[in-house]
Amino acid sequence: MRRPAYAQGPSELPLRGETIGAMWNDVVAAHGLRPALVARHQGIRWTYAELDEQVERCARALLGLGVRKGDRVGIWSPNNAEWVIVQFATAKLGAILVNINPSYRAHELQYALQQSGCSLLILAPGFREADYRELLAGVDAPDLRRSVVLGEEWDDLLASPDAVGGDELQSREGELDFDEPINIQYTSGTTGFPKGATLSHHNILNNGFFIGEILGYTPEDRVCIPVPFYHCFGMVLGNLAVVSHGACIVLPSEAFDARAVLETVAAERCTSLYGVPTMFIAELADPEFDRFDLTSLRTGIMAGSPCPVEVMRRVQSDMHMREVTICYGMTETSPVSTQTRRDAPLEKQVSTVGRVHPHVEVKVVEPDTGRTGARGETGELCTRGYCVMLGYWNDEHATREAIDAARWMHTGDLAVMDDEGYVNIVGRIKDMIIRGGENIYPREIEEFL
């Protein structure tokens, strides 16, 4: 008998019906003296209580600047402690954080600021060869009222005497609802312009929490995050999965550096490590790899593109990550919809993207008819559940094209579901290139040229 290519993720744990700020407050109350954030490249080591002090100061300072619920606040920076502070401070205010790729140039920055209607931009002085202040000066962004450069301007902001009191911040927090938008992330698209996937507290808090559950996180875990925060990989699989379990975020550097990762894992006794396959390949290829003690590692996440079998074998054996998992998803689904479990056999780890996530549904449909296909047959993978985005910011047409009337998100990826419910991605409907875990569309390049 034909068995439908459909699966849903049962769970004994209910979805969390709370805002990110409420979760944050509970974690700080329970784990205030435990380590929360280590940024080795900045010389920062903060407990949850110390990080909370920074988050509170930032949230109150932003209120003092006139930032209100629903306002868009952009962040344009590589990985650092300030990025983490802004992520949780804006969540406590109900402001919508707009993630801006550190590699953006002026035309891309202008598009993101204009399309999202950012009123405030927090930016690093620069990244690699780019001077952010110089690039921003050439941008036309009518809604942008103010920018704050990390460094002296940031320090002045947090020390501002105009910052509002804690009572007012608490009052604002009480007005928030978990279904409200909290984050806009720009994704490349076949239309030639990025689209702003709009995500709610409910979307990304729950996705991060259940990722952490599958990884077995506890407050004892120390998670090395070399993947970028502007992407869901860093801020959801990373920060939210870690914080929702009272564990510790460990940053090796502002951008990926294989040697910095190895040094950080060894020195900080990290228990989990993230990366796209090319990052793990670079770490394994380091000429001094053998001198680093990585025995503290037990788990982690590999995602972004398929992993070669031999690389996975070496990650499990040479890097001691015997419980490493593979994740699959897209920004529009918060992002993870399938994940291998820690006890999955190697064959499933390298030939599939795992099974459906808790509280999520997936199905494989016939691309021509939209009918649910059979297990073992190739079709388009669709995802439904709490994780599906609210929509594309100010783009109802694109939203309707991506999410059908039954609230299924059409991924554009071709997949096969086997009899055990494991999903294998076998191709793409869209014409797309993957470089270092990032999606690149020829049409987008053509539009720019």
Per-residue pLDDT, averaged over 384-392, amounts to 98
Spatial CA neighbour of 150 closest among 86, 87, 96: 86
The more confidently predicted of residues 427 and 387 is 387
Share of the chain above pLDDT 70, in %: 94
Residue type, 420: E
Per-residue pLDDT, averaged over 77-101, amounts to 98
- Work out the mean pLDDT of the chain and round it to a whole number: 94
Residue 350 has pLDDT above 90, yes or no: no
Cα–Cα distance between 240 and 10 in angstroms, integer? 22
Residue 443 has pLDDT above 60, yes or no: no
Cα–Cα distance between 355 and 415 in angstroms, integer? 12
pLDDT of residue 322: 95
Cα–Cα distance between 177 and 181 in angstroms, integer? 9
Per-residue pLDDT, averaged over 139-163, amounts to 93
Q: Which of the four pLDDT bands, split at 50, 70 and 90, describes residue 247?
A: very high
Q: pTM of this prediction?
A: 0.94
Cβ neighbour number for residue 151 with a 10 Å cutoff:
11
Per-residue pLDDT, averaged over 258-279, amounts to 98
- pLDDT tens-digit map of 157-190: 999 866 788 899 999 999 999 999 999 999 975 4
pLDDT of residue 1: 67
Q: Which helix (H) or strand (E) holds 301?
A: strand 299-302
Helices (H), 190-245: 201-214, 232, 241-243
Residue 447 has pLDDT above 60, yes or no: no
Residue 270 has pLDDT above 60, yes or no: yes
β-bridge pairing 379-385 and 360-365: antiparallel
Could you tell me if 68 and 216 are in contact, meaning their C-beta atoms sit under 8 angstroms apart? Answer: no
pLDDT of residue 351: 86
Residue 439 has pLDDT above 60, yes or no: no
- pLDDT tens-digit map of 27-42: 999 999 999 999 999 9
